[in-house]
Structure 1
Amino acid sequence: MVHSSATNGDPLWAGVDVGTQSLRVAVVDAGGSVVGQAARALASQRAPGRIHEQDPATWWRALGEASRAALGGIAPERVRGIALCSTSGTVLLTDREGAALGPALMYDDARAAAEEQRAAEAGGALWVSLGYPMQRSWALPKALWLLGRADADTRRAAQRGGVRLAHSADYLAGRLVGAPVATDFSHALKTGYDLAAHRWPTEVLDELGMPLAMLPDVVRPGTRLGTVGAEAATHTGLRAGTPVLAGMTDGCAAQIAAGALAPGEWNSVLGTTLVLKGVTAGRLADPGGAVYSHRHPDGGWLPGGASNVGAGSIPPEFRADLAGFDAAAADREPAGAVAYPLASRGERFPFVRPDAEGFLLGTPRSDTDRYAAVLQGVAYVERLCYAYLETLGARVDGRTMVTGGGSRSDYWTQLRADVLGRPLHLPAQAEPAFGMAVLAAAGNGSLSVTARRMVRLVGAVEPRPGAAERFAEPFGLFVDELLRRGYIDAALAKHARGGLA
């Protein structure tokens, strides 16, 4: 797709999102209009034991094809910069020149169980102080797994910097520049980077046997990493010499696209799961480990958490006619049953309980009633998440933006506004690739100021009069059951029942 403004001579910026199923490129002008965009599919290799890999060569091929398609009809010299985001925790090993030495372990690859335990024990005090709940899907355990299974020559080369660790976006930025590049402090977080002290924690890494020489330098997102080389220009259609700028993880990129960049503002992403990301002046300390914070490129912090409920909670039998069930569910407010609709065992936010199980209080009167209970249950979890953030000291009084596939349901968005008791704002663009174009336009300047110019909202959904009272009783029952099961404590339950600020 090419926007009509692609034919004038104004400057443009490109953003790239290296996702799981596809790689997307967006070309955006200074006013936030997308003048070109394209995507190419990516394939994964999966195996039992939650093994998930991708071939980095497919990323490079997809970037070339998608970039050329997005730039179709646009003069390459108009693109003044490009930034990339990728899935948080996806890593690979490269040689000294940046060539991949094998497949990448994807963000949800979970084979590094022993390495997770080692990393948790070696850096326990540090991870607690930083609010990093070490998990096997994080990049540090996976880096240890890759290094531990490398041959002796590779391990010796790693000690000298002849083998390097790269995140997905780093690898592609290096291919664009023609040499390995620094990473940004967003991608580096799950590799164990100390965001408070701005350093790799060498005392922990030494204990783990992770050579500092194999780790990239770390820079602020928006920092110039280099420029597009001649070979990469031929491959992508970009002009040789185009600045390549450090990006952020895909979750942060989506937050930029939504424009939630001021203290008190939040982006609520309702996809397969429910993810909240916001802005605070100081880093939130969460003893429960449900919330961890990225750094804001402008200063301050970007806290967030991810629940295991979301659109994936909707049972398969309803998915063929979501619009029809939405219309019928509007007459079931509240539903005859109260649901905590976990699709599988375990919860991550607003509490961490690997043993948590969903529940249904009462008996639905019909399939429509059961469907309504699921939608309402996800909204109850969302309200509880905001209440939990408040107990940690976060402001939640700013604008709330809603993105993700679930936000395309007008009814569900209205229901969420009713349960939360606040207006929900709809960004014009919610793609991480768009967020990276905004970051590229900002460069080392103010991301917040640039986003105010480029990010547009297309409306707001206001809570309906009397809706809060209608859902007060079932929400109270929901909170009481979580308290009874020991999933939340009495302080959170009391605050949640009192509503949001």
Structure 2
Amino acid sequence: MYLGIDLGTSGVKVVLTDEQGAVVRTTHASLNVSMPRALWSEQDPADWWEATCQCLDALKASQDLSTVKAIGLSGQMHGATLLDENGDVLRPAILWNDGRCDDECHEIEAAVSDARQRSGNIVMAGFTAPKILWVKHHEPDVYGRIHKVLLPKDYLRYKLTGEFASEMSDAAGTIWLNTESRKWDSILLAATGLNESHMPALFEGNAVTGELTASLAERWGMKSVPVAGGGGDNAAGAIGCGIVDPGQAMLSLGTSGVYFAVTDTFRINTEQAVHSFCHALPSRWHMMSVMLSAASCLQWYAGQSGYEDVGAMLDDVEQSVSYSDEATPLFLPYLTGERTPHNNPYAKAAFFGVTASTTRAHMARAVIEGVSMALADGMDAVHQSGVSVSSISLIGGGAKSPFWRQLLSDISGQNLTYRKGGDVGPALGAARLAQLAVNPDKSLSDICFQPEAEAEYKPDPKVNEAYLAKRQQFRELYYAIEPFWSSPKKQKTFTN
């Protein structure tokens, strides 16, 4: 048996798999996000650990874990978890969707003129490095006591093993990694006042990084098994869906929306805010577009408009509003700013074109279409990076809706495959990386195979043509109102 632990934004999920890669058991514990101020997003790492222990305690109660051979980890990327010299947490972790440190991004790029070439990425407010500068500027007492900076899943690793370690796919999202050479970059670290001693040791995702402590092994009825490097949530989700070779891609519909395409070379497209990260396997990289609010937009509108849940909203739209209904407005889905292709943490959500004929269902369709068009723009940006894609798999909780799957195909113009078990995603990938770590003689294809295809979706040419025109309106609307979303410090003041 193999354990995969995924630390998501909304909860921790643990899966138990067998030697054939089948999921035997799953457990889940929910988490809350604190947003005490505009643009802020934080969690208490103690809650991560408590949720992880709840999951493993529940798993032990229903399953003999004595045959577990290894543990793999996955988690939300970019979060800044700050520890003092005693290993104690200094402040709440600043999360991936936190947008408070735009000024610090510019400060890093001013200090390191080739920062984008070194990291492969624009320095964005969601990434880890600018968060540290924000702490330096606003919480100098905390900054002065920083001993280690860990990513969220790597804090769980520390609690499980006592080791400070990370792996390439997650480290690439800090801005401190030289993504091409797969090493910490001393110049990028120095731009935030840190050095390599503040960083965890680096491993590949399929390498052993430590062992489960004896006390925890006893608690859960396991041996002191190896803990693998694992992967950031998107890379681990790709591993779980068998997206491991160049030409393979996936579209993940979770809280955020991600388009992920594997390459065997390091590429850069910062002009369109495409992320260039290491994959969780050696000698592989990936290009990735990210929209910060995907399925979360649907959850937001369903909750605000009185639908029982997102499923009820999707059913209502499918039954009552067609793609050609002129009463459907445009919706810009930027509830928490945006990354690809705009790199604008100040972007806001907006409806445009509401009429007296517009109903709740029309508004709901606008939300679904807006998220889908933003995802399609991100997919186009990745393809324009010189990445050739032969197949696209759908994963994530939002991908459960056949109606939305077809709409995504119609809007993007791409063939999409929904695979069984795709909603398990990162946790399954973490378990597979654990299996790879203790079975080095097994081939990658034996362990990281693609799950069985459940359904195929091809774009309807007539519907796709209609959406090409609507997508152009969608883009033009964003750029027309973008000046209203600039940094508060850059906004113009008008006087009479």
Q: Aligned residue for 2:430?
A: 436
Matches within 5 A, 1:6-405: 12-96=1-85, 98-146=87-135, 149-151=139-141, 155=144, 163-177=147-161, 179-191=162-174, 192-235=176-219, 237-296=220-279, 297-307=281-291, 310-314=294-298, 315=301, 316-317=304-305, 319-320=307-308, 321-329=312-320, 332-336=322-326, 340-344=330-334, 347-352=338-343, 360=352, 366-367=358-359, 368-396=361-389, 398-405=390-397
Residue 126 of structure 1, CA deviation? 2.2
Task: Write the distance in 2 (CA, Å) between the matches of 1:333 and 1:112.
Answer: 39
Residue 448 of structure 1, CA deviation? 4.4
Deviations 1:402-458 (A, max 9, x none): 1233322221212223344444222222322122111111127478424444x4224
Task: Write the distance in 1 (CA, Å) between the matches of 2:40 and 2:343.
Answer: 23
Return the match for 2:405 from 395, 410, 413.
413
Q: Is the 8 A contact 1:13 1:28 kept in 2?
A: yes
The alpha-carbon distance between structure 1 residues 204 and 352, as it changes in their structure 2 partners (threshold 3 A), is closer
Task: Write the distance in 1 (CA, Å) between the matches of 2:466 and 2:89.
Answer: 56
- Secondary structure of the 1:197 match is coil
Q: Aligned residue for 2:463?
A: 470
Task: Write the distance in 1 (CA, Å) between the matches of 2:84 and 2:348.
Answer: 43
Q: Aligned residue for 2:493?
A: none
Deviations 1:12-49 (A, max 9, x none): 11011112232221111122222122122334444124
Alpha-carbon RMSD across the aligned residues, in angstroms, is: 3.1
Return the match for 1:425 from 417, 426, 429.
417
Across the two proteins, how many residue pairs are aligned to each other?
463
The alpha-carbon distance between structure 1 residues 310 and 73, as it changes in their structure 2 partners (threshold 3 A), is closer
Deviations 1:56-76 (A, max 9, x none): 233222222211212334333
Deviations 1:106-138 (A, max 9, x none): 333344455333323223412245331212332
Deviations 1:456-489 (A, max 9, x none): 224123327xx212330341343266358758xx
Q: Aligned residue for 1:479?
A: 472
The alpha-carbon distance between structure 1 residues 169 and 254, as it changes in their structure 2 partners (threshold 3 A), is same
Task: Write the distance in 2 (CA, Å) between the matches of 1:21 and 1:378.
Answer: 20
Residue 197 of structure 1, CA deviation? 2.2
Matched, 1:456 2:439: no
Task: Write the distance in 2 (CA, Å) between the matches of 1:145 and 1:382.
Answer: 30
Residue 225 of structure 1, CA deviation? 1.2
Task: Write the distance in 2 (CA, Å) between the matches of 1:285 and 1:457.
Answer: 32
Task: Write the distance in 2 (CA, Å) between the matches of 1:473 and 1:113.
Answer: 37
Normalised by the length of structure 2, the TM-score is: 0.82
The alpha-carbon distance between structure 1 residues 147 and 116, as it changes in their structure 2 partners (threshold 3 A), is same
Deviations 1:364-404 (A, max 9, x none): 955345544543444444444333322221112x2211123
Task: Write the distance in 1 (CA, Å) between the matches of 2:430 and 2:217.
Answer: 19
Deviations 1:265-297 (A, max 9, x none): 221122344321121222332142421122121
Q: Is the 8 A contact 1:24 1:66 kept in 2?
A: yes
Task: Write the distance in 1 (CA, Å) between the matches of 2:40 and 2:354.
Answer: 39
The alpha-carbon distance between structure 1 residues 457 and 420, as it changes in their structure 2 partners (threshold 3 A), is farther
**Share of identical aligned residues, percent?**
23
Q: Aligned residue for 2:489?
A: none
Task: Write the distance in 2 (CA, Å) between the matches of 1:51 and 1:360.
Answer: 27
Task: Write the distance in 2 (CA, Å) between the matches of 1:53 and 1:273.
Answer: 16
- Residue segments in structure 1 that go unaligned for 5+ positions in a row: 1-11, 488-501
